[in-house]
Structure 1
Amino acid sequence: MQQVLAEFAAQHRALSRAREQLSGLTVTAQSRNGAVEITVGADGRVSAVHFTGHRFREMSARDLAESVLEARRTARTEAAARATAIVMSVEPRLAESLAPVPWSEAVADGVSGPRSVTARSRP
């Protein structure tokens, strides 16, 4: 019984650390053309949009929209990968049992890979 309680306590501490890491995870990605930066949290929700320089002013509405969506997909894909890595580090079986998450569509979008991705954890 003591061993079961000790294992439960250790897993609870690990899950608490993972939850803390996930709550502080942010990823910023830039579009390929460098016109847009998007920051998302671990859940894939956009928390910041930044138009870099003045290039965006010369872009068509369609091109700008594509740059925004590209940066968002890249950021969400990287956030999903990092969140999964955090969960897997705690307990690999948990990742298999996760329900679909809001950013799962980003992974399915087939983004070719992160461009200028930065991950941060809030203190």
Structure 2
Amino acid sequence: MTKRKLNSTFTLNESFLTECDLTYAVNKIGGRWKILIIDKLSDQKLRFSELNKIFPLITERMLTLQLRALECDGLVKRTVYAEVPPRVEYELTPMALEFLPIFKQLSAWGNKHKGLTK
């Protein structure tokens, strides 16, 4: 990941906001694609090309950025196999597996309420 300036407004805000445990957790899974990626990796290891096929509307660059962020945050493990061509697989870490029951509860809540807010 790219390094940010330690005294930038973004870095200072991020360190302040992540002092709250709930904000810290939401920050780790926040974003348009992270939860969907974690959901697809919940059952199996997947290669980049498989993830790319599952999410046809996400650009390769965005998928790469989201996977890197998840890896940096300790939620996804990236394994590179020394083969030609190189094979790379992604899987959830034990820390990410702890999120799965919470995701199921959030999904049930969303299913119950998504048609009610108009």
TM score, norm. by length of structure 2 = 0.29
Q: Higher Cα Rg: structure 1 or 2?
A: 1
- Normalising by structure 1, we get a TM-score of 0.28
Higher relative contact order (CA 8 A, sep 6+): 1
More strand by share: 1
